[in-house]
Structure 1
Amino acid sequence: MDKRKFYVNIESREISELKAGNNDEFVIYGTPNDIIELRECFEDMEHADMGTFWRSHMPFKEYHRDEDNDAFDQCFLKAYKMLYELGDENAKQHIEQLPFYEEFNKIQ
């Protein structure tokens, strides 16, 4: 399959073929299947994020013993790993500077 150019903003979880506003945090090149997988990863992040929101209202549940936080962290790392693998040279250079870059080898 042919790879197409996409603009990604990980904070807003936006993936678009059209550059608009601030959606060009990362430029990636991917197949439709790559983009589906990245969208699913963003959806998993959203789901885990909602779980962490509800956990925050339970003061008796500790952060480090929260499955939703662990799930969010895993999805977050997976999304950045995908952005690195699909990204242009600027995306790769930016991601290599992030403190969690070395954690990518632990992701399946």
Structure 2
Amino acid sequence: MDKRKFYVNVESREISELKAGNNDEFVIYGTPNDIIELRESLEDMEHADLGTFWRSHMPFKEYHRDEDNDAYDHCLLKTYKMIYELGDEQAKQHVEQMPFFDELNKID
């Protein structure tokens, strides 16, 4: 299957074939299946993020004992792992400089 060029912005959870505004945080090359998987990971991040919002209103629940935070962290690492695997050289270099880069190999 042919890979196509996509622009990705993790913060806005945007994947687009067209460069517009600030959606070009990362440039990746992927098949339709790759993009579906990345989109699912970004959507999982959004769902987990909503869970962390509700948890933040419960001061008695500690961050390090919170399943929603763990889920968000896992989705974030999975997303960056995919960006690293599909990304152009600049994307790879950017991800390599992130403090959690060594953790990406532990993500399934």
Q: TM bucket by the smaller chain?
A: over 0.9
Identify unmatched segments of 5+ residues in structure 2: none
Identify unmatched segments of 5+ residues in structure 1: none
Extract structure 1 runs of 4+ deviating beyond 4 A: none
What root-mean-square deviation, in Å, do the aligned CA atoms of Structure 1 and Structure 2 show? 0.4
> How many Å apart are 1:103 and its aligned residue?
0.3
Name the residue aligned to 1:13: 13
TM-score by length of 2: 0.99
Name the residue aligned to 2:71: 71
Name the residue aligned to 1:82: 82
> How many Å apart are 1:63 and its aligned residue?
0.8
Report the count of equivalent residues.
Answer: 108
* Partner-residue secondary structure (3-state), 2:43: helix
Deviation per CA, 1:58-99: give whole Å up to 9, x if none.
111111100000000000000000000000000001111111
Question: What is the one-letter code of the residue matched to 2:64?
Answer: H
TM-score by length of 1: 0.99
Q: How many percent of aligned residue pairs carry the same amino acid?
A: 85
